[in-house]
Amino acid sequence: MSEYRTGVVLDLDGTLVDSVHHHVLAWDQVLRGAGLEAPLWRVHRAIGMGGDRLLPWVLGRSAADLGDLIDELKGRHEEAFLARADAVRPTPGGPDLIDDLGARGVPFVVATSASGAMVDVLLGVLGRKDFDLTHGDEVDTSKPGPDSVLAACEQLGVGPVAATMVGDSPWDAEAATRIGARAIGVRCGGFGATELTDAGAMLVVDDPRALLGRL
């Protein structure tokens, strides 16, 4: 491995695709349907985690306590989100950032906690599919665990210290910095600059458009 080689890890949901608030509404629908309630602000603050971590965090209950309900609610959430998929659109500059990195020969991998049909829908919204991707089915631990970032680094052929993670949530920044990768935050997912920097982001910008030509 060349010591000078670097790579970029791009989050998908909320970073390249403007999907965060659709996820919030989908989770709210699912929780209410199961007789569970959580304030929307708390659901929003958990977006970016995998569903296995999101539900315990939002409901204030342990994964062991929730048991099989986690997988059941995750499945319902995917159905509820897909029903809203026609309203999802790219973030400002999301597709352009993919094109920009490819045109300049910057190695990058898209890393997402989503899997299955949801990944296909998100990529359809982005309008770009010709790139390396790691998704939720390929890792054992979801964000803020670092597994997805590590998997992306392996695809890039770089160590974490040579990687830069671009994500919209504090969980992205935490996942990256836990293994020594750099983190850049984008505010288009609805998280504030302070939240992102407190989680380890070294730079915060509004959206992918602001990163064009800079990574």
- Per the CB < 8 A criterion, the answer to whether 6 and 158 are in contact is yes
pLDDT of the residue at 5: 67
113 close to 15: Cβ distance less than 8 angstroms: no
Q: Residue 170's pLDDT is what? A: 96
**How confident is the model over 26-48, as pLDDT tens digits?**
999 999 999 998 999 999 999 98
Q: How many CB atoms lie under 10 A from the CB of residue 110?
A: 26
Nearest to 179 by CA among 151, 166, 159, 160: 160
Start-to-end C-alpha separation, the chain = 20
Of 12, 3, 39, give the one whose Cα is nearest residue 169.
Answer: 12
Q: Would you kindly state where each structural domain of the chain is located, as residue ranges?
A: 7-19+89-211, 20-86
Which CATH fold topology does 7-19+89-211 show?
Answer: Rossmann fold (3.40.50)
pLDDT value at residue 44:
96
132, amino acid identity: D
Residue ranges in the chain assigned as alpha helix (H) = 20-33, 40-46, 51-59, 63-66, 69-82, 94-103, 116-126, 147-156, 170-177, 193-198
Amino acid at 172: D
Query: What is the per-residue pLDDT across 57-107, written as a single tens digit (0 to 9) for each?
Result: 999 999 999 999 999 999 999 999 999 999 999 999 999 999 999 999 999
pTM of the model: 0.92
> What value does the mean pLDDT take over residues 197-210?
97
